[in-house]
Amino acid sequence: MIDFEIPKPIAMTMTALETVAVNMMRPKSRYFDEHEHEIPWDYITFMHMAMRQTGAGSLAPAEEKKKEIPEGKERPRIGYQQLSFMLEMLSWGDCGMYLDTPGGGLGAAAVEAAGTSEQKQKFLARFRGEKPVFGAMAMTESQAGSDTSAIRTTAVLDKDTNEWVLNGEKIFVTAGHKSLCESEGFVVVWATIDPTAGRAGMRAFVVPAGTKGVQVSKLEHKLGIRVSDTASIVMQDARVPFENLLGSAEVIKEPTTKGFKGAMATFDATRPLVAATAIGVARAALEELKKILEKEGVVIRYGLPRQKITAIEREIIDMDVMLRSAWLLIIKSVWMADNRMPNSKEASMAKLRAGDIVNRITQRAVEILGPLGYSREFLLEKWFRDAKISDIYEGTGQINRLIVARHILGYTGRELR
């Protein structure tokens, strides 16, 4: 039965998250925007403690223990839905600071999506320790962005020691510095075991902090989300144990695209979540815009025909439509993920729509408020800058259009390039 009631367990956590967003994130937003590369330890320490207590975890919901659920009485799965709400609220607070949340981030999500259960146990345990620990995913290289099959970082098996030897340079690694230099975390590095094989050669490797030959070579200066570190990572003969290759041992023998598909599966799971962060920013901007207008005596009159309302009212009403419909698209795609339905099309739809509307809303909000919008006295100009990343990372709007188009047209990647 079609139902839009927010699940109770989610509704119950939202107040607490809002408190965090209001009290720990918003008051620090401006400071960290102006002090790039400083680390918001207060927020990090608090979130780590809170998450340890509640058992909330990484980007990907941990698999539920089968023992606890009597057969036939399976509880409805809402893990991804819960995460969407959580990420939306934290990003409403500050979407850059949310990226500093300890717990494994995209690195843990990749382990969840592509790792064996032994690997999950082994690698994810570190996030539940005393100190906050970070995880990251390293995919992009200077010559390979959306075209991930063009990556050149290599992994060669040293049969004598049964270790993988990694060489190459990764860029744009979100939280790469905190994962390797500020905690005992890891980075999931995508590399090729056969540079001639294209996608079929791609594999993911867990590269822990402290691995010799791994170095953070650069921290980027960015348009927005400045409180989140974006690192370049150089690997020179970096050695990791054989078991750090994600997936079962067979994946190294098969000349298949399983590894690549593993990466893409990660994105199917995380795209709606990244979209949820965009919605958080969009909602923040729209609420702030309404608040300032209200103070100026502008009342938004809902329910009137368009011919009777002002241009500003029309804009705001359109923003309400955009925001709500984009959010519902996310909810549907994570509901599908929770129910183990293939959601690649819906995930990409959610991502591209959220990327569109957050930019539209923040750009228009700055314009509508004129000189006030442009001022750093308010956070609107910051959200305008923060918003842009939502249409870029985890698949640009264009890549997601390509994915949606292939689905609705029934085309392969070869038929629609």
Residue positions annotated with a catalytic role: 394
Nearest distance from C-beta of residue 12 to another protein, angstroms: 13
Nearer to another protein, 332 or 388 (CB): 332
* Rounded (5°) CA angle 223-280-287: 100
Report residue 96 CA to chain centroid gap: 11
Nearer to another protein, 67 or 414 (CB): 414
Nearer to another protein, 181 or 309 (CB): 309
**How would you classify the pairing of strands 202-208 and 186-192?**
antiparallel
- Choices 5-13, 193-201, 226-234, 276-284; region in contact with another protein by CB under 8 A: 5-13
Among 69, 321, 342, 413, which residue interacts with another protein (rule: CB under 8 A)? 321
Q: Which 274-313 residues touch another protein, going by CB under 8 A?
A: 302-308
Nearest distance from C-beta of residue 330 to another protein, angstroms: 9
Among 108, 166, 227, 331, which residue interacts with another protein (rule: CB under 8 A)? 331
Question: Residue 207's beta-bridge partner residues?
Answer: 187
Nearest distance from C-beta of residue 269 to another protein, angstroms: 17
Distance between CA 106 and CA 395 in Å, rounded? 13
Stretch (H or E) spanning 215: strand 214-219
Nearer to another protein, 4 or 370 (CB): 4
Nearest CA among 279, 281, 299 for reference residue 379: 281
Q: Is 412 in the site for another protein (CB under 8 A)?
A: no
Distance between CA 255 and CA 196 in Å, rounded? 11
Q: Is 212 in the site for another protein (CB under 8 A)?
A: no
Tokens of 55: 């058992």
- Cβ partners under 8 Å of residue 76, min gap 6: 7, 338
Q: Is 398 in the site for another protein (CB under 8 A)?
A: yes
Residue 376's Cβ-side half-sphere holds a number of Cα atoms within 13 Å equal to 6
Q: Is 364 in the site for another protein (CB under 8 A)?
A: no
# residues contacting another protein (CB under 8 A): 47
Nearest distance from C-beta of residue 416 to another protein, angstroms: 6
Distance between CA 143 and CA 162 in Å, rounded? 30
Q: Say if residue 77 is exposed, middle or buried (CB neighbours under 10 Å; 0-12, 13-18, 19+).
A: middle
Among 20, 99, 352, 361, which residue interacts with another protein (rule: CB under 8 A)? 352
Q: Is 53 in the site for another protein (CB under 8 A)?
A: no
Among 76, 297, 370, 371, which residue interacts with another protein (rule: CB under 8 A)? 76
Q: Is 413 in the site for another protein (CB under 8 A)?
A: no
Distance between CA 220 and CA 86 in Å, rounded? 27
Nearest distance from C-beta of residue 244 to another protein, angstroms: 37
- Choices 105-113, 192-200, 375-383, 404-412; region in contact with another protein by CB under 8 A: 404-412
Tokens of 324: 């709500």
Distance between CA 144 and CA 170 in Å, rounded? 10
Are 279 and 88 in contact by the 8 Å Cβ rule? The answer is yes
Among 209, 293, 329, 380, which residue interacts with another protein (rule: CB under 8 A)? 329
Q: Is 12 in the site for another protein (CB under 8 A)?
A: no
Distances (CA, A) of 196 to 263, 273, 403: 19, 34, 25
Distance between CA 109 and CA 69 in Å, rounded? 24
Binding residues (CB under 8 A) for another protein: these are: 1-7, 76, 78, 81, 302-308, 317-318, 320-322, 324-326, 328-329, 331-332, 335-336, 346, 349, 352-353, 398, 401-402, 404-405, 408-411, 415-417
